[in-house]
A and B are shown apart, each in its own frame.
Chain A
Protein backbone atom coordinates (compact mmCIF):
# COMPACT_ATOMS: atom_id res chain seq x y z
CA UNK A 1 0.00 0.00 0.00
CA UNK A 2 1.33 3.43 -0.77
CA UNK A 3 1.57 5.87 2.10
CA UNK A 4 2.52 8.91 0.05
CA UNK A 5 1.67 9.50 -3.55
CA UNK A 6 2.26 12.46 -5.84
CA UNK A 7 0.24 13.22 -8.94
CA UNK A 8 1.75 15.50 -11.59
CA UNK A 9 3.39 17.45 -8.81
CA UNK A 10 4.85 20.74 -10.08
CA UNK A 11 6.49 23.66 -8.32
CA UNK A 12 7.61 26.90 -9.91
CA UNK A 13 9.66 29.50 -8.02
CA UNK A 14 9.31 33.22 -8.74
CA UNK A 15 6.27 33.06 -11.00
CA UNK A 16 6.02 36.22 -13.10
CA UNK A 17 9.58 37.39 -12.41
CA UNK A 18 12.63 37.16 -14.68
CA UNK A 19 13.91 34.46 -12.29
CA UNK A 20 11.02 32.06 -12.85
CA UNK A 21 12.16 28.43 -12.58
CA UNK A 22 10.22 25.19 -12.51
CA UNK A 23 12.11 23.21 -9.88
CA UNK A 24 9.81 20.19 -9.87
CA UNK A 25 8.06 19.24 -13.08
CA UNK A 26 5.07 16.86 -13.20
CA UNK A 27 6.42 14.25 -10.80
CA UNK A 28 4.17 11.26 -10.16
CA UNK A 29 5.60 8.71 -7.77
CA UNK A 30 4.30 6.59 -4.96
CA UNK A 31 6.07 5.70 -1.74
CA UNK A 32 5.19 2.32 -0.22
CA UNK A 33 4.46 2.00 3.48
CA UNK A 34 7.52 0.77 5.37
CA UNK A 35 10.03 1.15 2.57
CA UNK A 36 13.36 2.95 2.61
CA UNK A 37 13.32 5.20 -0.43
CA UNK A 38 16.41 7.01 -1.59
CA UNK A 39 16.06 10.21 -3.58
CA UNK A 40 19.14 11.02 -5.57
CA UNK A 41 20.01 13.70 -8.08
CA UNK A 42 22.49 16.33 -9.05
CA UNK A 43 22.53 19.60 -7.05
CA UNK A 44 19.63 21.73 -8.27
CA UNK A 45 17.65 18.78 -9.61
CA UNK A 46 14.70 19.65 -7.36
CA UNK A 47 15.10 17.12 -4.54
CA UNK A 48 14.66 19.59 -1.70
CA UNK A 49 11.72 21.29 -3.37
CA UNK A 50 10.01 17.94 -3.96
CA UNK A 51 10.26 16.77 -0.36
CA UNK A 52 9.12 20.11 1.05
CA UNK A 53 5.87 19.57 -0.80
CA UNK A 54 5.47 16.12 0.74
CA UNK A 55 4.78 17.53 4.21
CA UNK A 56 3.00 20.67 3.12
CA UNK A 57 5.74 23.20 3.83
CA UNK A 58 5.28 24.61 0.37
CA UNK A 59 2.11 24.37 -1.64
CA UNK A 60 2.40 22.85 -5.12
CA UNK A 61 1.92 25.14 -8.11
CA UNK A 62 -0.13 22.31 -9.56
CA UNK A 63 -0.69 18.62 -8.89
CA UNK A 64 -1.44 16.77 -5.69
CA UNK A 65 0.20 15.06 -2.75
CA UNK A 66 -1.85 12.19 -1.32
CA UNK A 67 -1.15 11.01 2.23
CA UNK A 68 -2.87 7.66 2.82
CA UNK A 69 -5.01 8.45 -0.23
CA UNK A 70 -6.12 11.91 0.91
CA UNK A 71 -5.05 15.20 -0.65
CA UNK A 72 -3.01 16.98 2.03
CA UNK A 73 -4.28 20.39 0.88
CA UNK A 74 -7.95 19.39 1.04
CA UNK A 75 -8.15 21.28 4.37
CA UNK A 76 -5.37 23.90 4.42
CA UNK A 77 -6.22 24.80 8.03
CA UNK A 78 -5.21 21.34 9.18
CA UNK A 79 -1.87 21.19 7.41
CA UNK A 80 -0.09 20.94 10.77
CA UNK A 81 -1.54 17.44 11.21
CA UNK A 82 0.20 16.41 7.98
CA UNK A 83 3.50 17.74 9.33
CA UNK A 84 3.14 15.51 12.41
CA UNK A 85 2.66 12.46 10.17
CA UNK A 86 5.40 13.32 7.72
CA UNK A 87 8.49 14.38 9.69
CA UNK A 88 11.12 16.43 7.94
CA UNK A 89 14.79 16.82 8.78
CA UNK A 90 16.20 19.71 6.76
CA UNK A 91 19.67 20.01 5.40
CA UNK A 92 21.99 21.30 8.18
CA UNK A 93 19.24 20.82 10.79
CA UNK A 94 21.54 21.91 13.63
CA UNK A 95 20.56 25.53 12.89
CA UNK A 96 17.08 24.89 14.23
CA UNK A 97 18.22 24.22 17.81
CA UNK A 98 17.08 26.93 20.21
CA UNK A 99 16.11 25.62 23.65
CA UNK A 100 18.07 25.83 26.88
CA UNK A 101 18.84 22.13 26.97
CA UNK A 102 19.10 19.44 24.34
CA UNK A 103 16.31 17.47 25.99
CA UNK A 104 13.94 20.44 25.90
CA UNK A 105 14.78 21.03 22.28
CA UNK A 106 13.96 17.45 21.35
CA UNK A 107 10.68 17.83 23.26
CA UNK A 108 9.66 20.88 21.19
CA UNK A 109 8.01 18.80 18.43
CA UNK A 110 6.13 16.36 20.68
CA UNK A 111 4.85 19.26 22.80
CA UNK A 112 3.56 21.04 19.70
CA UNK A 113 1.59 17.87 19.06
CA UNK A 114 -0.17 18.42 22.36
CA UNK A 115 1.58 15.79 24.48
CA UNK A 116 2.07 16.40 28.19
CA UNK A 117 5.57 17.16 29.50
CA UNK A 118 5.95 13.61 30.81
CA UNK A 119 4.88 12.01 27.52
CA UNK A 120 7.04 14.38 25.51
CA UNK A 121 10.05 13.61 27.69
CA UNK A 122 9.55 9.89 27.20
CA UNK A 123 9.42 10.33 23.42
CA UNK A 124 12.48 12.57 23.55
CA UNK A 125 14.55 10.07 25.52
CA UNK A 126 13.50 7.29 23.16
CA UNK A 127 14.52 9.41 20.16
CA UNK A 128 17.83 10.30 21.80
CA UNK A 129 18.51 6.58 22.13
CA UNK A 130 18.15 6.13 18.35
CA UNK A 131 20.68 8.86 17.65
CA UNK A 132 22.96 7.65 20.48
CA UNK A 133 23.02 10.90 22.45
CA UNK A 134 24.51 10.18 25.86
CA UNK A 135 22.48 10.97 28.95
CA UNK A 136 24.85 13.74 30.11
CA UNK A 137 24.51 15.54 26.77
CA UNK A 138 20.74 15.87 27.18
CA UNK A 139 21.13 18.32 30.06
CA UNK A 140 23.63 20.50 28.19
CA UNK A 141 22.87 23.56 26.10
CA UNK A 142 22.57 22.56 22.42
CA UNK A 143 25.13 25.26 21.59
CA UNK A 144 27.80 23.44 23.59
CA UNK A 145 27.65 20.26 21.50
CA UNK A 146 30.04 19.29 18.72
CA UNK A 147 28.89 19.54 15.10
CA UNK A 148 28.00 15.86 14.79
CA UNK A 149 26.21 15.84 18.15
CA UNK A 150 24.17 18.90 17.21
CA UNK A 151 23.16 17.19 14.00
CA UNK A 152 22.06 14.09 15.90
CA UNK A 153 20.15 16.18 18.44
CA UNK A 154 18.28 17.89 15.62
CA UNK A 155 17.42 14.58 13.96
CA UNK A 156 16.21 13.26 17.31
CA UNK A 157 13.93 16.31 17.51
CA UNK A 158 12.05 15.05 14.48
CA UNK A 159 12.16 11.34 15.33
CA UNK A 160 10.61 12.22 18.70
CA UNK A 161 7.42 13.22 16.92
CA UNK A 162 7.14 9.60 15.84
CA UNK A 163 6.11 10.38 12.26
CA UNK A 164 4.77 7.69 9.92
CA UNK A 165 7.15 8.92 7.26
CA UNK A 166 10.58 10.33 8.11
CA UNK A 167 12.20 12.48 5.42
CA UNK A 168 15.87 13.47 5.73
CA UNK A 169 17.48 15.99 3.38
CA UNK A 170 21.22 15.30 3.05
CA UNK A 171 21.58 14.29 6.71
CA UNK A 172 25.26 13.44 6.31
CA UNK A 173 26.29 16.60 4.42
CA UNK A 174 29.39 18.26 5.81
CA UNK A 175 30.24 15.55 8.35
CA UNK A 176 33.52 13.64 8.60
CA UNK A 177 33.45 10.01 7.35
CA UNK A 178 32.98 8.65 10.86
CA UNK A 179 30.08 10.97 11.64
CA UNK A 180 28.59 10.14 8.29
CA UNK A 181 28.75 6.36 8.85
CA UNK A 182 27.26 6.84 12.29
CA UNK A 183 24.27 8.86 11.11
CA UNK A 184 23.51 6.53 8.21
CA UNK A 185 23.73 3.48 10.49
CA UNK A 186 21.40 5.16 12.99
CA UNK A 187 18.87 5.93 10.30
CA UNK A 188 19.00 2.33 9.06
CA UNK A 189 18.52 1.07 12.60
CA UNK A 190 15.60 3.39 13.13
CA UNK A 191 13.99 2.11 9.94
CA UNK A 192 14.56 -1.51 10.92
CA UNK A 193 13.24 -1.16 14.46
CA UNK A 194 10.26 1.06 13.84
CA UNK A 195 9.29 -0.30 10.44
CA UNK A 196 8.42 3.25 9.44
CA UNK A 197 8.75 4.71 5.98
CA UNK A 198 12.02 6.60 5.48
CA UNK A 199 12.89 8.89 2.58
CA UNK A 200 16.58 9.74 2.39
CA UNK A 201 17.68 12.53 0.06
CA UNK A 202 21.30 12.62 -1.00
CA UNK A 203 23.52 13.42 -3.92
CA UNK A 204 25.88 10.64 -2.85
CA UNK A 205 25.31 7.30 -4.55
CA UNK A 206 27.45 5.66 -1.82
CA UNK A 207 25.04 6.70 0.91
CA UNK A 208 21.95 5.69 -1.04
CA UNK A 209 23.46 2.36 -2.16
CA UNK A 210 24.20 1.42 1.42
CA UNK A 211 20.75 2.14 2.77
CA UNK A 212 17.84 2.33 0.34
CA UNK A 213 15.46 -0.40 -0.89
CA UNK A 214 14.29 1.67 -3.82
CA UNK A 215 15.71 4.76 -5.49
CA UNK A 216 14.12 7.74 -7.18
CA UNK A 217 16.48 9.56 -9.53
CA UNK A 218 15.68 13.24 -10.07
CA UNK A 219 17.05 15.18 -13.01
CA UNK A 220 16.19 18.75 -13.95
CA UNK A 221 12.97 18.61 -11.96
CA UNK A 222 11.78 15.36 -13.57
CA UNK A 223 11.53 11.94 -11.96
CA UNK A 224 14.02 10.12 -14.21
CA UNK A 225 13.94 6.56 -12.81
CA UNK A 226 12.25 4.86 -9.90
CA UNK A 227 13.09 1.29 -9.05
CA UNK A 228 14.90 -1.22 -6.85
CA UNK A 229 18.27 0.15 -5.83
CA UNK A 230 20.18 -2.62 -7.58
CA UNK A 231 18.23 -2.21 -10.80
CA UNK A 232 18.77 1.54 -10.86
CA UNK A 233 22.49 1.18 -10.06
CA UNK A 234 22.94 -1.24 -12.91
CA UNK A 235 22.15 1.58 -15.33
CA UNK A 236 25.64 3.03 -15.06
CA UNK A 237 25.61 4.87 -18.36
CA UNK A 238 22.17 6.46 -17.95
CA UNK A 239 23.15 7.60 -14.48
CA UNK A 240 26.27 9.31 -15.73
CA UNK A 241 24.13 11.12 -18.30
CA UNK A 242 22.19 12.77 -15.46
CA UNK A 243 25.41 13.76 -13.72
CA UNK A 244 25.68 10.94 -11.18
CA UNK A 245 28.63 8.66 -10.74
CA UNK A 246 28.41 5.07 -9.50
CA UNK A 247 30.06 4.43 -6.14
CA UNK A 248 33.72 3.45 -6.59
CA UNK A 249 33.14 -0.03 -5.21
CA UNK A 250 30.24 -0.65 -7.63
CA UNK A 251 32.33 0.54 -10.57
CA UNK A 252 35.31 -1.64 -9.59
CA UNK A 253 33.25 -4.80 -9.21
CA UNK A 254 31.47 -4.06 -12.46
CA UNK A 255 34.87 -3.93 -14.20
CA UNK A 256 35.88 -7.22 -12.57
CA UNK A 257 32.64 -8.80 -13.71
CA UNK A 258 33.17 -7.52 -17.25
CA UNK A 259 36.62 -9.12 -17.16
CA UNK A 260 35.00 -12.45 -16.45
CA UNK A 261 35.44 -12.75 -12.71
CA UNK A 262 32.55 -14.53 -10.97
CA UNK A 263 31.27 -11.54 -9.01
CA UNK A 264 27.84 -9.95 -9.02
CA UNK A 265 27.37 -7.28 -11.67
CA UNK A 266 26.01 -4.64 -9.30
CA UNK A 267 27.17 -4.47 -5.71
CA UNK A 268 25.92 -1.67 -3.51
CA UNK A 269 28.40 -1.45 -0.66
CA UNK A 270 31.92 -2.30 0.43
CA UNK A 271 30.56 -4.93 2.82
CA UNK A 272 28.76 -6.66 -0.01
CA UNK A 273 31.88 -6.55 -2.17
CA UNK A 274 33.89 -8.00 0.69
CA UNK A 275 31.69 -11.08 0.83
CA UNK A 276 31.82 -11.48 -2.94
CA UNK A 277 35.60 -11.22 -3.13
CA UNK A 278 36.48 -13.29 -0.08
CA UNK A 279 35.67 -16.72 -1.65
CA UNK A 280 37.67 -15.80 -4.76
CA UNK A 281 40.74 -15.02 -2.71
CA UNK A 282 40.34 -18.26 -0.73
CA UNK A 283 40.00 -20.30 -3.93
CA UNK A 284 43.24 -18.96 -5.29
CA UNK A 285 44.97 -19.53 -1.99
CA UNK A 286 45.97 -15.88 -1.97
CA UNK A 287 48.11 -16.28 -5.10
CA UNK A 288 45.86 -14.04 -7.12
CA UNK A 289 45.00 -14.56 -10.73
CA UNK A 290 46.13 -12.63 -13.73
CA UNK A 291 43.19 -11.00 -15.41
Chain B
Protein backbone atom coordinates (compact mmCIF):
# COMPACT_ATOMS: atom_id res chain seq x y z
CA UNK B 1 0.00 0.00 0.00
CA UNK B 2 1.13 3.54 -0.68
CA UNK B 3 0.93 4.54 2.97
CA UNK B 4 3.67 2.00 3.76
CA UNK B 5 6.21 4.49 2.43
CA UNK B 6 7.67 6.33 5.38
CA UNK B 7 9.03 9.81 4.99
CA UNK B 8 10.98 11.74 7.58
CA UNK B 9 10.92 8.43 9.53
CA UNK B 10 10.91 9.84 13.03
CA UNK B 11 11.10 7.22 15.80
CA UNK B 12 9.76 8.69 19.02
CA UNK B 13 11.95 7.82 21.99
CA UNK B 14 13.78 9.15 24.99
CA UNK B 15 17.42 8.44 24.27
CA UNK B 16 20.27 10.92 24.68
CA UNK B 17 20.17 11.54 20.96
CA UNK B 18 16.45 12.32 21.14
CA UNK B 19 17.04 14.80 23.94
CA UNK B 20 19.85 16.68 22.21
CA UNK B 21 18.96 20.13 20.98
CA UNK B 22 17.97 19.77 17.30
CA UNK B 23 20.23 22.69 16.34
CA UNK B 24 23.20 20.89 17.87
CA UNK B 25 22.22 17.69 16.11
CA UNK B 26 21.84 19.43 12.77
CA UNK B 27 25.22 21.16 13.05
CA UNK B 28 26.89 17.97 14.29
CA UNK B 29 25.54 16.05 11.33
CA UNK B 30 26.84 18.55 8.79
CA UNK B 31 30.14 18.72 10.69
CA UNK B 32 30.65 14.95 10.68
CA UNK B 33 29.73 14.68 7.03
CA UNK B 34 32.40 17.24 6.16
CA UNK B 35 34.98 15.50 8.33
CA UNK B 36 34.24 12.04 6.99
CA UNK B 37 35.27 13.25 3.56
CA UNK B 38 38.49 14.68 4.98
CA UNK B 39 39.50 11.39 6.57
CA UNK B 40 42.45 10.29 4.49
CA UNK B 41 44.08 7.59 6.56
CA UNK B 42 42.88 4.40 8.21
CA UNK B 43 43.19 5.63 11.77
CA UNK B 44 40.96 8.70 11.34
CA UNK B 45 38.57 6.71 9.21
CA UNK B 46 38.26 4.12 11.98
CA UNK B 47 37.77 6.91 14.52
CA UNK B 48 34.98 8.45 12.45
CA UNK B 49 33.28 5.07 12.01
CA UNK B 50 33.51 4.65 15.78
CA UNK B 51 31.87 8.05 16.35
CA UNK B 52 29.07 7.23 13.89
CA UNK B 53 28.45 3.86 15.52
CA UNK B 54 28.27 5.42 18.98
CA UNK B 55 25.68 7.82 17.61
CA UNK B 56 23.71 4.86 16.26
CA UNK B 57 23.93 3.01 19.59
CA UNK B 58 23.02 6.08 21.65
CA UNK B 59 19.90 6.67 19.54
CA UNK B 60 18.37 3.37 20.81
CA UNK B 61 16.59 2.97 17.47
CA UNK B 62 16.50 -0.72 16.42
CA UNK B 63 19.40 -1.70 14.17
CA UNK B 64 16.84 -3.09 11.72
CA UNK B 65 15.70 0.46 10.93
CA UNK B 66 19.24 1.53 10.08
CA UNK B 67 19.67 -1.47 7.81
CA UNK B 68 16.40 -0.51 6.14
CA UNK B 69 17.63 3.03 5.54
CA UNK B 70 20.79 1.62 3.95
CA UNK B 71 18.84 -0.64 1.63
CA UNK B 72 18.14 1.86 -1.16
CA UNK B 73 21.81 2.88 -1.39
CA UNK B 74 23.51 -0.54 -1.47
CA UNK B 75 23.49 -0.31 -5.22
CA UNK B 76 25.10 3.13 -5.19
CA UNK B 77 27.76 1.97 -2.73
CA UNK B 78 28.56 -1.10 -4.80
CA UNK B 79 28.62 0.92 -8.02
CA UNK B 80 30.97 3.67 -6.77
CA UNK B 81 33.08 1.05 -4.98
CA UNK B 82 33.58 -1.01 -8.12
CA UNK B 83 34.18 2.04 -10.27
CA UNK B 84 36.90 3.21 -7.88
CA UNK B 85 38.40 -0.27 -7.82
CA UNK B 86 39.40 0.07 -11.47
CA UNK B 87 40.51 3.68 -11.39
CA UNK B 88 43.56 3.51 -9.14
CA UNK B 89 46.99 4.43 -10.42
CA UNK B 90 50.24 2.58 -9.86
CA UNK B 91 51.34 -1.07 -10.16
CA UNK B 92 48.46 -3.42 -11.00
CA UNK B 93 47.81 -6.20 -8.49
CA UNK B 94 45.61 -8.01 -10.94
CA UNK B 95 44.86 -7.31 -14.57
CA UNK B 96 42.68 -8.72 -17.29
CA UNK B 97 42.28 -7.29 -20.78
CA UNK B 98 41.84 -3.49 -20.26
CA UNK B 99 40.87 -3.89 -16.60
CA UNK B 100 43.46 -3.57 -13.91
CA UNK B 101 43.17 -3.39 -10.16
CA UNK B 102 45.82 -1.55 -8.21
CA UNK B 103 46.48 -1.27 -4.50
CA UNK B 104 45.39 2.36 -4.63
CA UNK B 105 42.20 1.27 -6.36
CA UNK B 106 41.34 -1.17 -3.59
CA UNK B 107 42.04 1.43 -0.90
CA UNK B 108 39.92 4.03 -2.70
CA UNK B 109 37.06 1.59 -3.17
CA UNK B 110 36.99 0.66 0.52
CA UNK B 111 37.32 4.27 1.63
CA UNK B 112 34.53 5.57 -0.55
CA UNK B 113 32.17 2.73 0.42
CA UNK B 114 32.80 3.23 4.13
CA UNK B 115 32.26 6.97 3.74
CA UNK B 116 28.95 6.55 1.97
CA UNK B 117 27.64 4.08 4.56
CA UNK B 118 28.72 6.34 7.42
CA UNK B 119 27.11 9.31 5.67
CA UNK B 120 23.77 7.51 5.55
CA UNK B 121 24.07 6.27 9.13
CA UNK B 122 24.80 9.75 10.47
CA UNK B 123 21.95 11.39 8.63
CA UNK B 124 19.64 8.56 9.72
CA UNK B 125 20.53 9.23 13.35
CA UNK B 126 19.37 12.80 12.77
CA UNK B 127 16.08 11.94 11.04
CA UNK B 128 15.26 9.02 13.32
CA UNK B 129 15.68 11.02 16.52
CA UNK B 130 14.37 14.42 15.45
CA UNK B 131 10.71 15.08 14.69
CA UNK B 132 10.07 16.97 11.44
CA UNK B 133 8.85 19.99 13.43
CA UNK B 134 12.01 20.09 15.51
CA UNK B 135 14.07 19.72 12.39
CA UNK B 136 12.48 22.65 10.58
CA UNK B 137 12.74 24.69 13.76
CA UNK B 138 16.43 23.94 13.86
CA UNK B 139 16.88 24.75 10.18
CA UNK B 140 15.12 28.06 10.67
CA UNK B 141 17.35 28.96 13.61
CA UNK B 142 20.56 27.87 11.92
CA UNK B 143 19.79 29.70 8.68
CA UNK B 144 18.57 32.84 10.43
CA UNK B 145 21.70 34.87 9.57
CA UNK B 146 20.61 34.61 5.91
CA UNK B 147 17.61 36.78 6.77
CA UNK B 148 20.06 39.69 6.79
CA UNK B 149 20.49 39.07 3.06
CA UNK B 150 16.69 39.25 2.68
CA UNK B 151 16.29 35.50 2.28
CA UNK B 152 12.79 34.67 3.63
CA UNK B 153 14.08 32.03 6.04
CA UNK B 154 10.96 31.90 8.19
CA UNK B 155 8.65 31.47 5.21
CA UNK B 156 10.79 28.64 3.85
CA UNK B 157 10.78 26.91 7.20
CA UNK B 158 7.01 27.30 7.48
CA UNK B 159 6.54 25.89 3.98
CA UNK B 160 8.71 22.93 4.88
CA UNK B 161 6.80 22.29 8.08
CA UNK B 162 3.48 22.38 6.28
CA UNK B 163 4.70 20.18 3.44
CA UNK B 164 6.10 17.59 5.83
CA UNK B 165 2.92 17.68 7.86
CA UNK B 166 0.74 16.94 4.84
CA UNK B 167 2.78 14.22 3.16
CA UNK B 168 1.21 11.38 5.19
CA UNK B 169 -2.24 12.94 4.87
CA UNK B 170 -2.01 13.13 1.10
CA UNK B 171 -0.64 9.59 0.83
CA UNK B 172 -3.53 8.30 2.91
CA UNK B 173 -5.95 10.25 0.78
CA UNK B 174 -4.45 8.88 -2.44
CA UNK B 175 -4.90 5.40 -1.06
CA UNK B 176 -8.55 6.06 -0.24
CA UNK B 177 -9.39 7.61 -3.60
CA UNK B 178 -7.65 4.77 -5.43
CA UNK B 179 -9.68 2.23 -3.47
CA UNK B 180 -12.89 4.08 -4.21
CA UNK B 181 -12.19 4.19 -7.96
CA UNK B 182 -11.08 0.57 -7.99
CA UNK B 183 -14.38 -0.31 -6.35
CA UNK B 184 -16.05 1.36 -9.34
CA UNK B 185 -14.07 -0.92 -11.61
CA UNK B 186 -11.18 1.38 -12.47
CA UNK B 187 -8.34 -0.72 -13.81
CA UNK B 188 -4.99 0.62 -12.68
CA UNK B 189 -2.85 -2.45 -12.96
CA UNK B 190 -3.02 -3.41 -16.61
CA UNK B 191 -2.78 -1.86 -20.05
CA UNK B 192 -0.11 0.11 -21.88
CA UNK B 193 1.52 3.35 -20.78
CA UNK B 194 -1.16 5.58 -22.32
CA UNK B 195 -3.93 3.60 -20.71
CA UNK B 196 -2.23 3.70 -17.34
CA UNK B 197 -1.76 7.45 -17.49
CA UNK B 198 -5.43 7.85 -18.40
CA UNK B 199 -6.32 5.60 -15.47
CA UNK B 200 -4.68 8.13 -13.14
CA UNK B 201 -7.12 10.93 -14.03
CA UNK B 202 -9.90 9.67 -11.72
CA UNK B 203 -7.36 9.66 -8.89
CA UNK B 204 -5.48 12.89 -9.60
CA UNK B 205 -8.49 15.16 -10.05
CA UNK B 206 -10.09 14.38 -6.68
CA UNK B 207 -6.65 14.54 -5.09
CA UNK B 208 -5.95 18.03 -6.45
CA UNK B 209 -9.41 19.22 -5.54
CA UNK B 210 -8.95 18.09 -1.98
CA UNK B 211 -5.37 19.39 -1.75
CA UNK B 212 -6.57 22.85 -2.81
CA UNK B 213 -9.49 22.67 -0.40
CA UNK B 214 -7.09 21.78 2.40
CA UNK B 215 -4.72 24.57 1.42
CA UNK B 216 -7.51 27.17 1.48
CA UNK B 217 -8.84 25.84 4.78
CA UNK B 218 -5.37 25.97 6.27
CA UNK B 219 -4.78 29.50 5.00
CA UNK B 220 -8.09 30.63 6.50
CA UNK B 221 -7.30 28.92 9.78
CA UNK B 222 -3.86 30.57 9.92
CA UNK B 223 -5.21 33.98 9.03
CA UNK B 224 -8.04 33.79 11.54
CA UNK B 225 -5.37 33.22 14.16
CA UNK B 226 -3.57 36.36 12.95
CA UNK B 227 -0.59 34.66 11.36
CA UNK B 228 1.37 37.27 9.44
CA UNK B 229 4.77 35.78 8.83
CA UNK B 230 7.82 35.57 11.01
CA UNK B 231 8.25 39.16 12.21
CA UNK B 232 7.70 39.49 15.95
CA UNK B 233 6.59 35.90 16.27
CA UNK B 234 7.49 34.14 19.52
CA UNK B 235 7.76 30.39 19.97
CA UNK B 236 5.93 28.00 22.23
CA UNK B 237 8.94 25.73 22.56
CA UNK B 238 12.05 27.82 22.96
CA UNK B 239 15.12 25.82 22.09
CA UNK B 240 17.58 26.00 24.93
CA UNK B 241 21.01 24.45 25.17
CA UNK B 242 21.37 22.18 28.19
CA UNK B 243 24.21 20.27 29.84
CA UNK B 244 24.01 17.37 27.36
CA UNK B 245 24.23 19.82 24.48
CA UNK B 246 27.36 21.55 25.76
CA UNK B 247 28.82 18.12 26.44
CA UNK B 248 28.10 17.08 22.85
CA UNK B 249 29.71 20.25 21.51
CA UNK B 250 32.71 19.50 23.73
CA UNK B 251 33.02 16.02 22.27
CA UNK B 252 32.85 17.44 18.76
CA UNK B 253 35.65 19.92 19.43
CA UNK B 254 37.83 17.28 21.10
CA UNK B 255 37.16 15.01 18.15
CA UNK B 256 38.24 17.77 15.77
CA UNK B 257 41.51 18.24 17.67
CA UNK B 258 42.26 14.51 17.66
CA UNK B 259 41.26 14.35 14.01
CA UNK B 260 43.73 17.07 13.00
CA UNK B 261 46.56 15.56 15.04
CA UNK B 262 45.99 12.10 13.54
CA UNK B 263 45.74 13.50 10.02
CA UNK B 264 49.14 15.07 10.41
CA UNK B 265 50.79 12.22 12.34
CA UNK B 266 49.61 9.25 10.27
CA UNK B 267 50.47 9.12 6.56
CA UNK B 268 47.60 9.03 4.05
CA UNK B 269 46.39 5.60 2.97
CA UNK B 270 46.98 6.20 -0.72
**Which A residues contact B (CB, under 8 angstroms)?**
14, 52, 55, 57, 80, 83-84, 87-88, 90, 93, 95-98, 108-109, 112-113, 143, 157-158, 161
What 0/1 readout, one digit per residue, does chain B (136-177) give for beta carbons within 8 Å of chain A? Answer: 000000000000000000000000000000000000010011
Q: By the criterion CB–CB under 8 Å, are B205 and A83 in contact?
A: no
Inter-subunit contact A88/B201 (CB<8 Å): no
A140 to chain B, nearest CB (A): 15
Could you tell me if A90 and B176 are in contact, using CB atoms closer than 8 angstroms?
Answer: yes
- B183 A143 Cβ-Cβ under 8 A: no
- Contacts of B173 on A, CB cut-off 8 Å? 95
Query: What CA separation (Å) do A66 and B182 show in the bound complex?
Result: 20
Contact: B180 with A83, CB < 8 Å?
Answer: no
Q: Does B202 contact A90, Cβ atoms closer than 8 Å?
A: no
Give the residues in chain A near B179, CB-CB below 8 Å: 52, 57, 90
In the complex, per-residue mask of B208-219: 1 if CB is within 8 Å of any chain A CB, else 0 = 011000000000
Are A109's CB and B176's CB within 8 A? Answer: no
What's the A-B contact tally at a CB cutoff of 8 Å?
56
The minimal Cβ–Cβ distance linking B119 to chain A, given in whole angstroms, is 26
* Nearest-neighbor residue (CB-CB) of B6 within chain A: A17
Nearest CB of chain B from residue A180's CB, rounded to whole Å: 21
Interface centre among B182, B184, B206 (most CB of A within 10 A): B184
Contact count band on B:
10 to 19
Residue of A nearest to B62 (CB): A18
- Is A84 a contact partner of B206 (Cβ separation < 8 A)? no
Give which listed residue, A52, A95, A161, contacts B206 with CB less than 8 A: A95
Residues of chain A lying within 8 A (CB to CB) of residue B4: 14
State A194–B5 Cα separation when bound (angstroms): 42
**CB of B181 within 8 A of chain A?**
yes
In the A-B complex, the 8 residue pairs with the smallest Cβ-Cβ separation, listed nearest first, are: A112-B185, A96-B180, A98-B205, A109-B184, A88-B183, A90-B180, A98-B202, A98-B206
Instruction: Tell me whether B186 is interfacial, beta carbon within 8 Å.
Output: yes
CB distance from B154 to the nearest CB of A (A): 33
Cβ-closest chain A residue relative to B205: A98
Complex Cα spacing A84 to B186, Å: 10
Of A87, A97, A112, A143, the contact of B186 (CB 8 Å cutoff): A112
Task: Specify which chain A residues have a CB less than 8 angstroms from the CB of B206 in the assembled complex.
Answer: 95-98
Contact among A93, A113, A161 for B180, CB-based, below 8 A: A93
Contacts of B187 in A (CB 8 A): 80, 112
A88 to B181, CA, bound (A): 10
**B185 pairs with A96, CB closer than 8 A:** no
Decide: A57 near B210, CB < 8 A? Known: A96-B177, A98-B205: no
A55 surroundings in chain B (CB, below 8 A)? 183
Chain B residues whose C-beta falls within 8 Å of the C-beta of A108 in the assembled complex: 181, 184, 186, 202
- Alpha-carbon distance A57/B184, docked complex (angstroms): 11
Nearest chain B CB to A283 CB, angstrom units: 52
Interface pair B184/A96, CB less than 8 Å apart: yes
5 CB-based A-B contacts, threshold 8 Å: A52-B179, A57-B182, A90-B176, A90-B183, A112-B185
Assess A95 versus B185: contact at CB under 8 Å? Given A108-B202, A143-B209: no
Given contacts A95-B206, A98-B201, contact A161 B176 (CB under 8 A): no
On whether the beta carbons of A84 and B209 are closer than 8 Å, the reply is no
Q: How far is the CA of A161 from the CA of B182 in the complex (A)?
A: 13
Chain B residues, Cβ within 8 Å of A143: 209
Closest to B179 in A: A57
Is B176 touching A158 in the complex (CB atoms < 8 A)?
A: no
Instruction: Write the nearest CB–CB distance from B173 to chain A, whole angstroms.
Output: 8
Are A80 and B185 in contact, with the CB atoms below 8 A?
yes
Asked whether, in the complex, the Cβ of A95 is within 8 Å of the Cβ of B184, the reply is no
Within the assembled complex, what's the spacing in Å between the Cα atoms of A112 and B181? 10
Name the distance in Å between B74's Cβ and chain A's nearest Cβ.
Answer: 20
Per-position binary interface string of chain B over residues 198-239, scored 1 when its CB falls under 8 Å from any chain A CB and 0 otherwise? 000110011001100000000000000000000000000000
Alpha-carbon separation in the docked complex, A170 to B115 (Å): 54
Measured between alpha carbons, how far is A57 from B185 in the docked complex, in Å? 11
Which residue of chain A has its CB nearest to the CB of B210?
A95
B182 / chain A contacts, CB cutoff of 8 Å: 57, 83
